[in-house]
Amino acid sequence: MGILEVKNVNKRFGGLQALGDVNLSIAENTVHAIIGPNGAGKSTLLNCLVGKLIPDTGSVLFDGISVLGRKPHEINQLGISRVFQTPEIFGDLSVLENVMIPCFAKRDGSFRMHAFESVAAEEEIVAKAEQMLKDVRMYEKRGLHAGSLSRGDKRRLEMAMCLVQGPKLLLLDEPTAGMARADTNNTIDLLKEIKASRDITMAIIEHDMHVVFSLADRITVLAQGTPLVEDTPANIKGNPKVREAYLGE
Ligand code: ADP
Ligand code: MG
């Protein structure tokens, strides 16, 4: 059984069937890419995994526990962390403070800004956040305002904010969207390093096939809300059904 088991998930928006009988199993410690044309239902599926949407039918098990009906922060506590398409950071706080916030949230079970008042006493959390910044090569920038960072560094910081919570499953929705090639390649390298340095499973939605083929162990192709095929990158590349549905050939 995979760390994530999606069974017969359906989701309608009015007359539109955004997800139709989605079955997906993601094996522990793998990178699983979900690809498909615009409007295929990729983000909808991700939203069903993190509690932002509730499927009409079906089940989602994470580590054997049902996530359906749980609030996003509860699912986060179970060990699922999500990287957003646009980095969600606190621009007025320092890089280090940004990484400390999720540590407080994790410890206290909720996001409470007042916990931040006792920063000076929280040496353990400072040390943890500093180590995390070293891991993503942002330690030298720990004192900078997060808002002043480059796009690539903001992405790196957001990654640190997710990883410091020690997630078992990291969800990434188009992590390289809008990035120039150099930043994209840096992000690929960063994700490879993260993967190699800890026990973590990644589910990645991505348009850029270079990113997908650089990182994924398995690929699921979603078309019109339903998985068309799931296979290794090598097999997906040569699959005529995929080329037709996805590449429009
Ligand atoms: P993808 O991420 O693969 O591009 P989405 O999951 O965002 O696709 O969308 C799947 C389909 O569901 C699209 O047709 C989209 O317009 C529709 N959709 C997504 N979210 C909503 C919503 N909140 N209300 C109505 N329709 C939606
Ligand atoms: Mg999307």
Give tens-digit pLDDT for 138-195.
999 999 999 999 888 888 899 999 999 899 999 998 888 888 898 899 889 999 999 9
- Distance of CA 38 to CAs 7, 44, 69, 91, 230, Å? 23, 12, 27, 31, 18
pLDDT for residue 10: 98
CA angle 186, 178, 165 (to 5 degrees): 60
CA nearest neighbour of 45 among 199, 243, 237, 221: 221
The rounded percent of the chain whose pLDDT value lies above 70 is 90
What is the Å distance from ligand 2's center to 194 Cα?
24
Q: Which atom of ligand 1 is nearest to the CA of 205?
A: 2
220-229 pLDDT, tens digit per residue, is: 999 999 999 9
By most ligand atoms within 8 Å of CB, the mutation choice from 35, 38, 44, 205 for ligand 1 is 44
**Ligand 1 centroid to residue 15 C-alpha, Å:** 12
Report how far ligand 2's centroid is from the alpha carbon of 129 (Å): 30
Question: What number does the ligand 1 atom closest to the CA of 44 have?
Answer: 6
β-pair partners for 18: none
Looking at the CA of 36, name the nearest ligand.
1
Q: How far apart are the first and last CA of the chain?
A: 35
Task: Please determine, for residue 202, whether its predicted confidence score (pLDDT) is greater than 90.
Answer: yes
Which of 10, 11, 12, 16 to mutate to test ligand 1, by most ligand atoms within 8 A of the CB atom?
16
* Nearby residues for ligand 2 (ion, Cβ within 5 Å): 42-43
Band of pLDDT at residue 217, cut at 50, 70 and 90? very high
Q: Which residues line ligand 1 (CB under 6 A)?
A: 13, 16, 18, 36, 38-44
Query: Do 195 and 216 contact (CB within 8 A), yes or no?
Result: no
Q: Which of 24-38, 45-59, 173-187, 203-217 has the lowest mean pLDDT?
A: 173-187
pLDDT of residue 112: 53
Q: Model's pTM, two decimal places? A: 0.89
Name the residue at shortest CA distance from atom 22 of ligand 1.
13
DSSP letters of the chain? Answer: --SEEEEEEEEEETTEEEEEEEEEEE-TT-EEEEE-STTSSHHHHHHHHTTSS--SEEEEEETTEE-TT--HHHHHHHTEEEE-SS----TTSBHHHHHHHHHHHHHHSS--GGGGGGGGG-HHHHHHHHHHHHHTT-GGGTTSBGGGS-HHHHHHHHHHHHHTT--SEEEEESTTTT--HHHHHHHHHHHHHHHHHS--EEEEE-S-HHHHHHH-SEEEEEETTEEEEEE-HHHHHH-HHHHHHHH--
Question: For 10, phi and psi rounded to 5 degrees?
Answer: -125, 140
Q: Which ligand is nearest to the CA of 34?
A: 1
CA of 241 to the centre of ligand 1 (A): 23
* Nearest atom of ligand 1 to the alpha carbon of 222: 3
